[in-house]
Homo-oligomer: A and B are copies of this chain.
Amino acid sequence: METRDMLWSGWGDPGLAAPLPEPVAGLLRDMLGVRPAERPPADLDGVGVPACRLDDGDLTALAKVVGDSNVRADAETRVRHTRGKSTPDLLRIRAGEAADAPDAVVLPGSHDEVLAVLRACAERRIAVVPFGGGTSVVGGLAPSADGAADGAGTGGGGFVALDLRRMDAVVSVDETARTAVLQPGLRAPDAEARLGERGYTLGHFPQSFEWASIGGFAAARSSGQASAGYGRFDDMVVALTVATPEGTLDLGRAPKSAAGPDLRQLVLGSEGAFGVITSVTVRIHPVPEAREYEGWRFASFGEGAAALRRLAQDGPLPAVLRLSDETETVVGLADPAAIGTPGGAGASAGCLAVLGFEGTARGVAGRRTEAAEALRAAGGEPLGTGPGEKWAHGRFNAPYLRDSLLDAGAFAETLETAAFWPDVPRLYDAVRSALIGALSGAGTPPLLMCHISHVYPSGASLYFTVVSAQGADPVAHWDAAKRAANDAIIDAGGTISHHHGVGTDHRDWYAREIGPLGAAVLRAVKERVDPAGIMNPGVLVPPAAEE
């Protein structure tokens, strides 16, 4: 495979893995009760994959479509396509457990090959999991039998991961429409590099940027760190092509239309449950002439949130706009060694906001000045560009840090939600209470941090990070905490995910969010385009029994 592979047992480039400095490890031990794991992680060779459930006839039928070399059933390839990158996913694979491994990995090279693979799989009742960057943190790559119709999928027929890495072209760039046609397997950094050669950018920089794919962004309704300036990925998409077991959907003849429901918005967020996105036409922007990042301090999270709301509603809106709560501010501002010393240097840190302005030099200067007026009026204290640059420099680092924490015996995970502004304080309190309650039982309280990661005129998202001791059974321990947090989110009026998606992990709460009739509508759509129920079974679409 030409595309580089991510660390199978963690995040990112295997060469970048590094242990935590010993002083940090010591503080984790003292403050959070973190103890070194009893067993080192398994080696790749030591991961046990189940026997392949596909027979020779299945593999031959698939190879007939994509060619022999593009059907892989070796153990390493299967392990590398097992689940995604949530912390429970990593803990399981590090323990050598790969029960959810695909039975084979298929690499199609074109829309027509995808269609043919889906037809062959529907006929043979083989489930299909579309696989882009493999960065799902919500169980989006681990199908389950209860989502499959008619005995398909993991009910015994096995499943294939449909790895789209061969479909990685920038098909065309239209400078008049300021759009580009991208294939789904294109990785985000490659998209940026190739658009950048022509002077353009997508402006889409989620934390998964280094590894995620264009098709994944669309399928998972991704939202990048600069969403205030460039929009979410679902705002960027103007046209889509989707291969389903029942044929092709070609959507989007104009930026906006009054011709019926916007079916593009039915595909965005469909997480492979309806079909495979094989082409995405996105808006592009000239590479900004200027980029300026800066920090502001607010006395409290509430005061800072009000200031962000002011910018979201009345402008000027920076491209990046985020606000850490008190704990995250202390942890982020301080030297890593200061984690857990809130009575020390961090006590008067307040809450840090990061603003990033991008555009023409004149536009950036004008908006910065105007925003500064508004933020000062809202109680903000300017901290200069230092905190902004620091954030921008480390913007994709958190998942690497998680690997180091896991290596050190700590547990680290994130979750996120969004709501309308009046519900945000209640949502913040409810999720914190749920997590602290559930995680404190078995040891020291967790370190719990939060930031507002995306803002809109009518509301905002909240992104929580939890660090704790792993304990004896961290997967089960987190499962209970995550369930409590999900309940709290739904009860407090939030959405079960602002940018991570539904997958299998959020499906039961998603069913509550959209209600029984909403779930029934999704099932009706799925049954029409995927009557055999082979597409990512168990992901997204609530089964009828749950209504």
Chain A contacts to B: CB under 8 angstroms: 174, 176-179, 220-223, 232, 234, 238, 244, 246-251, 253-263, 265-271, 283, 286, 309, 313-315, 363, 366, 417-422, 454, 456-461, 493-502, 506, 510, 513-518, 520-525, 527-529, 540
Contacts and interface: CB of A to CB of B under 8 A. Distances in A.
Contact of A266 (B254, B261, B313): B261
Contact of A522 (B251, B260, B499, B500): B260
Contact of A458 (B177, B417, B460): B177
Given A246-B517, A254-B498, A260-B269, 16 more contacts: A177-B422, A179-B420, A221-B258, A234-B256, A249-B518, A254-B495, A255-B460, A258-B495, A258-B498, A259-B510, A260-B522, A261-B266, A262-B268, A266-B266, A523-B528, A524-B528
A514 B254 contact: no
Contacts of A268: 261-262
A266 B524 CA distance: 13
B179 A251 contact: no
Given A248-B517, A253-B513, A518-B249, A269 B265 contact: no
Contacts of A265: 261-262, 265-266
A520 B513 contact: no
17 contacts: A174-B422, A177-B421, A177-B459, A179-B420, A238-B420, A247-B517, A249-B515, A249-B521, A253-B419, A253-B495, A255-B458, A258-B495, A258-B498, A258-B499, A259-B497, A263-B518, A286-B314
Contact of A495 (B257, B417, B498, B516): B257
Residue among A254, A268, A271, A420 having the largest count of chain B Cβ atoms under 10 Å = A254
A301 to B, nearest CB: 16
A479 to B, nearest CB: 20
B521 A529 contact: yes
Given A232-B256, A418-B257, A521 B177 contact: no
Contact of A497 (B238, B257, B271, B516): B257
A260 B256 contact: no
A257 B234 CA distance: 10
A232 B255 CA distance: 12
B524 A256 contact: no
Contacts of A309: 176
A506 to B, nearest CB: 7
A140 B244 CA distance: 31
A354 to B, nearest CB: 20
B258 A500 contact: yes
A455 to B, nearest CB: 9
A262 B258 contact: no
A492 to B, nearest CB: 10
A410 to B, nearest CB: 27
A253 B517 CA distance: 16
Contact of A514 (B222, B251, B517): B251
Contacts of A238: 420, 458-459
B259 A501 contact: yes
A178 B524 CA distance: 35
B494 A253 contact: yes
Contact of A234 (B222, B262, B421, B461): B262
Contacts of A527: 524
B459 A254 contact: yes
A318 B504 CA distance: 44
B258 A515 contact: no
Closest 9 pairs between A and B when the two form their complex, measured CB to CB = A265-B265, A255-B456, A254-B418, A524-B528, A257-B495, A221-B258, A254-B495, A262-B265, A255-B459
A102 to B, nearest CB: 23
Nearest to A542: B260
A417 B253 CA distance: 10
Nearest to A416: B258
Contacts of A286: 314
A2 to B, nearest CB: 30
A521 B266 contact: yes
A456 to B, nearest CB: 4
B522 A524 contact: no
A499 B283 CA distance: 22
Contacts of A250: 515
Contacts of A244: 517
B458 A518 contact: no
A132 to B, nearest CB: 15
A449 B267 CA distance: 37
Contacts of A419: 253-254
Nearest to A138: B258
